[in-house]
Chains A and B, each alone.
Chain A
Amino acid sequence: NAGVTQTPKFQVLKTGQSMTLQCAQDMNHEYMSWYRQDPGMGLRLIHYSVGAGITDQGEVPNGYNVSRSTTEDFPLRLLSAAPSQTSVYFCASSQSGVGNQPQHFGDGTRLSIL
């Protein structure tokens, strides 16, 4: 049982490059989300999706795009990478939203922008 799988685990980009962080879950969860964790900042919500074809913004959406064409996949796209986007990115999923159930997290993608 793989749970939530994030790829790649590590990535170094140059400023201005674009990239897609992949996230896949095999639990048939409707709700998926992306967070970033910066030192001393906890986890901050970037974008989330309550089901295929539906996405919405979180707390820090600027500079990121998402789409949800299938239940299983929720990729996060950096359109033009900036040093401020250097962070650890976590993808999470849950059966139906965050209102009364915990999310399952992937192990993260550590991204460095030079």
Chain B
Amino acid sequence: DQQVKQNSPSLSVQEGRISILNCDYTNSMFDYFLWYKKYPAEGPTFLISISSIKDKNEDGRFTVFLNKSAKHLSLHIVPSQPGDSAVYFCAATQGGSEKLVFGKGTKLTVNP
């Protein structure tokens, strides 16, 4: 059973608008969440993370929101740029587990 779900395989937005990528999880023990970005033929690169003690974390154009009661997190990119076009993976782990669980990814396309 998938513990981390990204239900939208793809998302297309216009340059300058907001991109919102969603992620749901089923394991209530998860306490640390990360977003990775992946370009074709490259490895994933870390984008932003959030601990379960927070509900929001910002880094420049990227903001992650965590709703623990709904077991839902989202990544907001404002403003979106063509260079943001990539596959975005949501990942989660629980303290002491040493295992990271990934979602299937959402392919974001930002159109000029």
Contact = CB atoms under 8 A, between A and B. Distances in A.
A50 to B, nearest CB: 6
Interface stretch (A12-20, A37-45, A66-74, A78-86): A37-45
Nearest to B90: A42
Contacts of A40: 9, 104
A44 B102 contact: yes
B44 A105 contact: yes
**Size class of the contact patch on chain B:** 20 to 34
B51 interface: yes
Given A42-B102, A44-B102, A48-B98, A99 B43 contact: no
A75 interface: no
A90 B43 contact: yes
Contacts of B32: 98-100
Nearest to B4: A42
A50 B51 CA distance: 21
A23 to B, nearest CB: 11
Contacts of B9: 40
B21 interface: no
Interface string A85-102: 000001010000111101
B25 interface: no
B96 interface: yes
Contact of B34 (A4, A90, A97, A102): A102
Interface in B58-112: 89, 91, 93, 95-105
A111 to B, nearest CB: 14
Given A31-B98, A43-B102, A58-B99, A98 B43 contact: no
A98 B44 contact: no
B98 A41 contact: no
Contacts of A105: 36, 43-45
Given A99-B93, A100-B32, A56 B98 contact: yes
Given A33-B100, A105-B43, A108-B42, 16 more contacts: A4-B43, A42-B4, A42-B89, A42-B104, A45-B99, A50-B98, A90-B43, A98-B97, A99-B93, A99-B97, A102-B36, A103-B46, A103-B100, A104-B46, A105-B36, A107-B41
